[in-house]
Structure formats: structure tokens, C-alpha cells
Structure 1
Amino acid sequence: MTKITDLKVVNKHLNYDRVSLVNPSTSNYIHIAAEIDKKLTPFFLTTSSRKKKLIAQCKKWCKELEKISGVIEINLFKATIIPPGLGEYVKENSNDVHIAKFDFAILIETHSEKVCEELKNKNIYEKMLEHIKRVASYTNIMSAYNIRRINNVNHKKKGVFLFNYFSAKNRQQNLMVWEYTAGWFEEETELDNSTLLFPLEEENAKYSIINHCRWDKYIDILPSLIFKKTFKKYVLDNFYANNVGAQPILYRVI
């Protein structure tokens, strides 16, 4: 576990237990995020016909890709809401940080980096990626491994899924402040799972890390983000003090 001795801590009077971590997964991942329907509000209430067609086609391609030896699972996600939590660091660096409005995402989990590379070379994967890029106004593809884990994210059970797109001046600082603040989510939202994705190609990654987790219902997470003052004082203020910005988006599995 990363030491937090170099962490810049604000509002020290607020004390939450350190996050409960298990050993990271040995899996490797490909995370694909795309902006299909441009939204001016935090709510993704409608789905365009072109996104419906894209999702239907991607589901077919992903079923074929799941047959590849070494692929553990592939899940598709459709965004439902952008919750409170956009970091001030992101707002102040909007010229350098892409404001995430990814309304469609795919997460591919494999047994190894080698399997990921084999998958990327498949015609079906190349065709799928080409089609997503053609339909989307913006895409982000990140190959990653799991660097921190509260527990596995269960995609077989319906629920509310988060992808939190972090930006930071320093990735180690990002990791430290995530560890420091994740205990808040365990206590205030009863979070019991999380897979923190760290980019394999750090220099080319648009986001420093991506956090992925799940709750059963919106009521498990949204009221805490909206009404609990400690969310800003303990979580967001410590992000900002450490030059870290979060961009959370909530999804449902398709």
C-alpha cells in the first residue's frame, strides 16, 4: 500500500478509516469510452437511433471477441447521469483536460497483456473500433492493469456502475489521494468494490487513472454526493489540494 506521508491533507478534523484493500487483480483491461450523443445537461435521458444501432452492432462484435481464449468478460455500458464531483482542478485546466461526457463505454477484461494485444489485432476488434470512432465525436481508448482494488466489480448483477476519469499532475499523488479518500465512500455509501485502472502507456494516456465500481441503486450513492457536506470537504477538497481532478459518470450495463 502506498504511504501517504507526502499527501497534502486538508480538513484534518474529518477522520475516516483507511480504505480496505485486497491484492490487485492480475487481469489486464481495455477501456473504450465514446461520446455519441452530445448532452448539455447531466442527464442522459434519450438515446439516438445512431447510438442504438452502434450498441446493437457492438454487442454482436463483443460476443465474438469473448470467444477468444484468455478473454474473461466484456461488458458494455450506457451512461445515465453525470453526478456531482467534477473537480475544481479539471475546471481550472479545461484547456488541457478533456471534459468527459462519455455516454457509451466498453470494458474488456483478459488474463494478460498478451491476450489484450492478440485481441487488438483481431479484425473484429479493429472493425468495431473503427466503427465507434466514425460514429462518435470523441473517443478514448486505454489499455490498463489493476493497481488498487477494494474488491471485484460484479457485472452479472444489475446496478449503478461508475467510471471516474481522473486527471492529475502526478499519478502517484493521484493514487495516494484516492486511497486517502476512498474510505469515505466505504463508510458513507457502503461501497464494497472497486477496480482502479492504471494506464499501461502512461505517456499517451489522456486520464491519469480510471476508477470503476458498482452500487445496487442510485439511492446508495447520489444522496451522499448531493447532501453530505463531507463529500466536498473530505473528498473534493483533498483532490484539489493534491492537483487531482475527478470526472465521474454513472452507467448501467447494457
Structure 2
Amino acid sequence: MDHVAILALFDRDMREGAQPDGPGARVERAGNVVRQVSDENGWNGVVWSDVDAAGADAAIAEQIAYYSGLGREFEWKLYGHDLPVDLGQRLRAAGFTPRPEETLMIGEVADLNLDAEPPEGIRIVAVDDPTGIDRVADVHEKAFGTSSARLRRQLLAHLQADPDTVVAAVALAGDVAVSAARMELVPGTRFAGLWGGGTVEEWRGRGIYRALVAHRAQVAVARGYRYLQVDAVPESRAILERLGFQPLTVTTPYVYVP
């Protein structure tokens, strides 16, 4: 994989050319900044910027003023190759709080190991109704210890308005959901994004996460996507590397609360 070329393609298609991530969201270009604007239940933030040292502080101030005027908390999603090189320091100085760093990993589906089967006693089921969404949300709360209210609303909105843009699945032990994940499909691009993979604590280390990655990858192949993209936390990076994903850069969410 040509890391430089793939990263440039990712920046062009998924950041500068970003599409709304759900019903009710819109993407705007404000000067050299591309941002998503949603209601309080959706994601608000900057996905791409092309600012230099002379204009960075003004661009940051403009986004703070804009989102503060809407009464919205928002995120500036900073990537390791973004310029200027001190953009993270400037965001902190302006009042943003950095969240834990993640690794942008991309895999070309033709090169991935997609033979991972779920362990004995586990079956993977596609989610296509409110009951399935409740299972995904319940797993999210147990696996991550955070509220799944926003996730539940977003998945329900996708299911009702644009079901072809999200693929969700749960892993069941009998009738009990023990792991769940979703994939966001971006029409007109070559990228599908893997998100939200989580397994409840007592079921970890058995290969369920790996099987859910393989399941979603197979769906992406069937729908004609060439690349899979993941913002990987340290716990999942090693699994993804064994499947054939490669790290390209790091990404840090900088959050501003008005």
C-alpha cells in the first residue's frame, strides 16, 4: 500500500469532500475549513482544514464563535499530518480539550484476511429493526460504560431515512448480545468506515471482535468498496494489524464546550 497516496485520497474523499454522517446533519465549507453541523443529538465538528500559521488562530476563533452561537459542543478532529504543525497547541490555547489519541488504520479489502469465523456458540446477526438497535445500544453501554442514547437515536434515524448507508451487526451467545459493531458506507467514495466495535468484558479475548471486523469487511466487498477505515484504540490495533490493516497516521479529537 502506498501510504502517502492513500492518505491523500482519504483526505480528499473523507475529509475535504466529507458527506453528512446521518439524517439531519449538513456539511459546510467555511473558507479553508470543512465542518459538520447537526442538532444536539448528532456530531458537530471540523473534519478538515487547510490553514497556515498566519491564519490558524483566526480560523479557530471563527469556529468557536460559530458553534457557540448555535449552543453546540463541537470537536476539531486533528490528524497527525495536519498543518500548521503546532495546530494542536493552538487548539489547547483556545480552550479545546484533547481526548485520547487514536490511530487511523486503512486496509485494502483485497489484501485483508477475511476468513475469521466467530467462536463456537456465537452467531453474528445483521441489525435491521429497532429490536436489533436496542441490542447494539445495550452492548455499547456494557462494553464502554457510557450512555448509548445518542447512538440509539442515530441508528434509528439511519434505519428510517437511509438504511443503505449503515450496516450494524450483533454477536449473540444464544439470545444474549455480547458484542456489536457498525459500518458507515459513504456513497461515491472507495471508503467504508468501521465504528463502535465493542465486546462485553466477560466475552473478550475469544475472537468475536475479529469476526465482526471480517463480517463487515465481507459486506463492504459485496457492495464494491475498496478500502476500510478505522480510528483504532490501542486495544484493537493489534487485532486489525493481524487482519491486514496498516497504520497511516494518528488522530486526536479536540473538544470545545461553549
Question: Greater Rg, structure 1 or structure 2?
Answer: 2
When normalised by structure 2's length, the TM-score is 0.31
When normalised by structure 1's length, the TM-score is 0.31
